Structure 1
């Protein structure tokens, strides 16, 4: 029986970086995505480099039919690693955001994550072994104007992961929520946001592979909620300890200076 690592949203960015990381550790892969030509090309590159089996499932996990299709495709396959990475976002105020977009984001980041995890976890519990990695964001700790729904959904992922950790203590199943800050992916461009990816320093953009390497080092140390960069740790601390009125002003100013909608 092949040992699969299932990575959702594996076409590019963090999902692709996780796919390469686990392929390098000897796992066969199941990669999901929506862009057929791109993900097929990436999958072949991984096959060629790591000599592993890669199954590509074209699916939109922001809708119920997509989740059903994925779960049906997993029948008879042992999933030893799950990376819930599929995501999208938008940079508009809550009231100006299209309601169908809101529903899709909430479904993708809450119901889809919970349902896929629930399905995979059954097999892991039978084997008493497995890894579940849920990709959240430092936005889970620090909502800013324009990402209200995104931040709330990412907070759900952190809470779910912490709860799973407590329920699975004493078993061979490990979980982790990864909460990165700015990562150099196509996330912002795909969602109509402009950001300066050339900026340096604490709030500069990091490469996906670098973030994954750091998160996996923390995973091996037993980290449950991983904030893999200094900027994210600062944002988390500010949101938790800064007086709220002061934080609200800071968040509004930061967005106006660093992120704007095209």
Structure 2
């Protein structure tokens, strides 16, 4: 496939919003996910609406076998844009998290991102053009109890992207990391979290489409670290300027109140 955008985790949420946005621009798509019926329905809708080609790959990227399958499937494709979006959260505290789940989240949100990026980057360097977008989170700036591994892997993604941007300073390849706040997707439900999604006020949940539009706007401006939405920007600034002991207290109290609401 030529003129292609590869988006991991494109069944719903941000991944699907990116798929629609790039299809609107006339790009063909390669999208990955695990929920076969849902992602294929979305692919058919995108093809019908935007008249582009959509290749669907049903794959679990949280293990080496799944990653190897994806790399083999895309080896002949000309990918102009890579969106590393696949990810998931974990609810338990670290001491109670199963080893298998720890291995999965670290592989998916670190190993798979690095290896897939390197594979596609090598081809982009030959043409000296391309775009790599990595999805992080405002949680990378503000780690919380019961969110330790997720936040840590998302911070890794920020460092990876900024370092890559500096390595590619003399090329025409664009690199961006997107650090959104709360998004109205099924992410929290998938992680076993019962969350009330506010639409107004501070810490409101933004739509995936709004996040993607802000991120692409920043990409065109050359902004490497994109923090879309005023809420995510405030979180980043608060954590940066607060004394650490004060931040720890706020984070612990916030988590306790959230857990009480979730357990009602």
TM-score by length of 2: 0.97
2:122 & 2:142 partners in 1: Cα distance? 33
Post-superposition Cα deviations, 1:79-103, rounded to whole Å, max 9, x if no partner, equal 1000000001112211111111011
Query: Equivalent residue for 1:234?
Result: 234
Residue 43 of structure 2 corresponds to which residue in structure 1? 43
Note if 1:33 corresponds to 2:38.
no
**149-158 vs 232-241, which deviates more?**
232-241
- CA distance, structure 1, for counterparts of residue 110 and residue 76 of structure 2: 25
Q: Residues 182-219 of structure 1: CA distance to partner in whole angstroms, max 9, x if unpaired?
A: 00000000110011113521201000000000111011
What TM-score, normalized to structure 1?
Answer: 0.97
Equivalent in the alignment of 2:115: 115
Runs of 4+ in 1 over 4 A off after TM superposition: 259-262
Looking at structure 2, the residues matched to 174 and 116 of structure 1 have their Cα atoms a distance apart, in angstroms, of 16
Matched, 1:105 2:95: no
2:204 is aligned to 204
Structure 2 residue 104 is matched with structure 1 residue 93: no
Give the corresponding residue for 1:225. Answer: 225
User: In 1, are the aligned partners of 2:136 and 2:180 still within 8 Å (CA)?
Assistant: yes
Give me the whole-angstrom Cα distance separating, in 1, the residues matched to 2:68 and 2:62. Answer: 11
How far is the alpha carbon of 1:2 from its aligned partner? 1.6
- Root-mean-square deviation (CA), in Å? 1.1
Cα distance between partner residues in 1 of 2:198 and 2:133: 29
Cα contact 1:2–1:78 (8 A) shared by 2: yes
Q: How many angstroms apart in 2 are the aligned matches of 1:90 and 1:112?
A: 18
Long gaps (5+) in structure 1: none
Asked if the contact 1:192–1:261 (Cα under 8 Å) also holds between the matched residues in 2, the reply is no
Partner Cα distance (1:75, 1:220) in 2: 28
Task: For 1:71-82, list aligned pairs within 5 A.
Answer: 71-82=71-82
User: How many Å separate the matches in 2 of 1:79 and 1:28?
Assistant: 9
- Equivalents in 1 of 2:98, 2:86: separation in Å? 20
The equivalent of 1:150 in structure 2 is: 150
Aligned 1:180-191 pairs, distance under 5 A: 180-191=180-191
- Give the 3-state SS of the residue equivalent to 2:176 in structure 1: strand
SS of the residue 1:30 aligns to: strand
Q: Work out the CA distance in 1 between the residues paired with 2:53 and 2:256.
A: 45
Where in structure 2 are the equivalents of 1:124-163 lying within 5 Å?
A: 124-163=124-163
2:31, 2:199 → 1: CA distance?
A: 31
